[in-house]
């Protein structure tokens, strides 16, 4: 049995995505557990992933309240890039922002179920796409900071979603007829001319295959705030979700900072 605080799974893009689960001081290669029965037990403790303090409630996937309202990782521009003010010298932590906001960002189009637009740092590709369970993705625009990428996303949100339907993603309920190159051209035409200059000529499409034996037809989600132990046969991993034979799914990212025991 292995016990420790969970962090989101690390990933590696190969022919099939490789998943590694950090739990305490251990890193578990999860692909080799697919097809096996595993048990996850909540030890009824959550530790903030920033300061390490015990917290009764996890905010923004792993933070205590004090860190949630103060650390740069939970700034409002994380969810809404267009609100980033680092380029104006305004930030919770300018040193942090130099590496996370004042650096190259991509606006991208991805297919997790339907078409969506998103923003991520250049260094987070393809990690961001994998974490969202994307089937295919293409770079749309490259900007020198987070704010500009957010402004492009905001314009396009009027015509396409910026959200992933996680239930459809986990069921592999995908619109396979979407042509990302065509959608990129349409997106370019929709943009204000001032923003069109950031469109990238890189039209490579990344296709991502996940280690899943069978996709669930219905979704039952485990929340370790409500249950203590879950045991089941692991049949796949997609995004940051473990998928089990009985249609149960566990969102690892939601439980970041939770003290968990893993047995397999």
pLDDT tens column, 153-204: 999 999 999 999 999 999 999 999 999 999 999 999 999 999 999 999 999 9
pLDDT in tens, 209-259: 999 999 999 999 999 999 999 999 999 999 999 999 999 999 999 999 999
Kindly report the length of the chain: 264
| Segments making up each domain of the chain, as ranges | 2-62+212-263, 75-207
User: Minimal CA–CA distance to 16: which of 195, 236, 196?
Assistant: 236
What integer is the mean pLDDT of 113-121? 97
Residue-wise pLDDT for 12-56, tens only, equals 999 999 999 999 999 999 999 999 999 999 999 999 999 999 999
Mean of pLDDT values over 134-160: 97
**pTM of the entire predicted model:** 0.96
Average pLDDT over residues 72-91: 98
Question: In the structure encoding, which two tokens stand for residue 42, read together?
Answer: 């909540």
What 3-state class would DSSP assign to 240? coil
**Per-position DSSP letters for 146-197, written without gaps between them:** HHHHHHHHHHHTTTSB-S--HHHHHHT---TT--HHHHHHHHHHHS-HHHHT
């Amino acid at each position: 049995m292995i016990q420790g605080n969970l962090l989101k799974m690390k990933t590696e893009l190969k022919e099939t995505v490789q998943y590694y689960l950090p739990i305490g001081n251990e890193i578990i290669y999860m692909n080799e557990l697919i097809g096996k029965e595993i048990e996850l037990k909540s030890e009824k403790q959550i530790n903030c992933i920033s300061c390490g303090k015990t917290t009764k409630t996890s905010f923004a996937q792993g933070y205590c309240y004090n860190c949630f309202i103060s650390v740069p990782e939970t700034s409002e521009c994380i969810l809404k890039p267009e609100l980033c003010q680092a380029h104006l010298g305004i930030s919770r932590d300018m040193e942090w922002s130099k590496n996370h906001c004042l650096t190259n960002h991509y606006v991208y189009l991805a297919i997790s179920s339907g078409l969506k637009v998103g923003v991520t740092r250049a260094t987070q590709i393809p990690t961001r796409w994998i974490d969202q369970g994307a089937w295919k993705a293409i770079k749309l625009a490259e900007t020198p900071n987070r704010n500009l990428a957010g402004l492009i996303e905001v314009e396009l949100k009027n015509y396409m979603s910026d959200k992933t339907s996680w239930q459809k993603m986990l069921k592999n309920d995908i619109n396979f007829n979407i042509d990302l190159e065509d959608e990129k051209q349409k997106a370019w035409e929709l943009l204000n001319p001032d923003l069109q200059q950031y469109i990238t000529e890189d039209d490579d499409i990344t296709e991502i295959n996940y280690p899943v034996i069978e996709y669930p037809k219905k979704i039952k989600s485990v929340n370790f705030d409500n249950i203590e132990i879950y045991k089941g046969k692991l049949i796949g991993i997609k995004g940051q979700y473990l998928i089990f034979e009985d249609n149960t799914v566990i969102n690892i990212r939601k439980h970041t900072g939770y003290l968990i025991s893993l047995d397999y």
